[in-house]
Amino acid sequence: MKILVTGGSGFLGSHVADALSEAGHQVTIFDRQESPHRRPEQEMVIGDLMDQELLHRATAGHDVVYHFAGIADIDECAQRPTDTARINVLGTVQLLEACRQAAVQRFVFASSAYVFSDSGYFYRSSKRACESFIDDYANLFGLKYTCLRYGSLYGERADENNSIFRLLRQAVQEGKITYRGQGDELREFIHVRDAAKSSVEILKPEYENSHIILTGNEKMRYLELLEMIKEILGHRITIETIPSERKAHYKITPYNFSPKLGKKLVANPHIDMGQGLLLCMADIYERNPGKHDESGLVVNNGQD
């Protein structure tokens, strides 16, 4: 099929674009900047969700649209509520309208487990609003959809918006980890490549007009994650936890709000947590060349 991926230059979007290409689909990436990960066989459209005329041209002739573009960081959304509503919500509605007029067969939306939660601030609110518009477009116009409620992602190509990337970068470059939280927060981490693989699988007819939860197989508390990183690095790092009562993130479960129930899809086989962390560290080293000691930590962090 011909598939358009908005936000396809980013962390999750680029991996999903790769997985779609590997599955034999014709992929076009739509983003505000050229993708550094774009494959030769993938097309690129540089543009903005606010450019409605360009959205109509970009969606024309495509069978499926995957929508990953928008503000994805909870703290950034908290600081930019107007932009969050404009980009995340209005941008999604404009894309839905373009898909309706282009007779797109399926609209795949990158939602979040935070739609269930009272945490997440305006990020949560924007995802809830988008899911409601998607439901209405399905009911009013017959636009088929799949909402993918992603959990805690990690993996290569991540940036400072990703919590595991931040922890690993600090561990590798500074020899320490400063974690703001109690440490007993529970997550089901999922490697981005596993999430991308499942994001392609949902193109099957049985996932039409469904809300799918995509999380990992491994439940882990943050203190356990920190200890795993410390052990991988030969116990050469120090760990500091700073208690925080912020409601940006849920502690044990996001399930304290009740929209439509979602089915959970878990990748099998999957990338286990230890191997996934090693892949992340290798990615960090490649992007930050320099001297490292035998344990893998940065020597002098590039300073004399």
With respect to residue 237, please indicate whether it lies within any of the assigned structural domains: no
Cα radius of gyration rounded to whole Å, the chain: 20
Structural domain contains residue 277: no
The Cα–Cα gap between 23 and 92 comes to 26
pLDDT at 243 (0 to 100): 82
In a domain, 28, yes or no: yes
Specify the amino acid at residue 94: Q
In this prediction, residue 6 carries a pLDDT of: 98
CB atoms within 10 A of CB 297: 18
Residue 96 has, within 13 A of its CA and on its CB side, a CA count of 24
> Based on the number of CB atoms within 10 Å of its own CB, is 111 exposed (0-12), middle (13-18) or buried (19 or more)?
buried
> How is residue 253 annotated by DSSP?
-
Task: Please state the domain count of the chain.
Answer: 1
> Is 200 within the bounds of a domain?
yes
pLDDT at 119: 79
pLDDT score, position 294: 67
Tokens of 224: 């356990």
Cis peptide before 243 (omega within 30 of 0): no
Long-range contacts for 134-140 (Cβ within 8 Å, ≥24 apart)? 134/92, 134/96, 134/107, 134/109, 135/260, 137/96, 137/100, 137/107, 138/209
Q: What is the predicted pLDDT for the residue at 300?
A: 63
| CB-based contact 32:46 (threshold 8 Å) | yes
SS3 110: strand
CB-based contact 188:218 (threshold 8 Å): yes
Amino acid, res. 188? E
The CATH number of residue 11's host domain is 3.40.50.720
Residue ranges, the chain, pLDDT below 70: 245-261, 291-292, 294-296, 299-304
pTM above 0.75, yes or no: yes
Is 109 inside a domain boundary?
yes
pLDDT of residue 248: 45
Is 67 among the domain residues?
Answer: yes
Contact at 8 Å (CB) between 115 and 257?
Answer: yes
Domain that holds residue 120: 2-150+189-215+258-268
Amino acid (1-letter code) at residue 209 = N
Q: Is residue 176 part of a domain?
A: no
What does the pLDDT read at residue 257? 44
Determine the pLDDT at residue 156.
97
Tell me how far apart the alpha carbons of residues 240 and 177 are, in angstroms, rounded to a whole number.
6
Q: ∠ CA 224-13-61 to the nearest 5 degrees?
A: 155
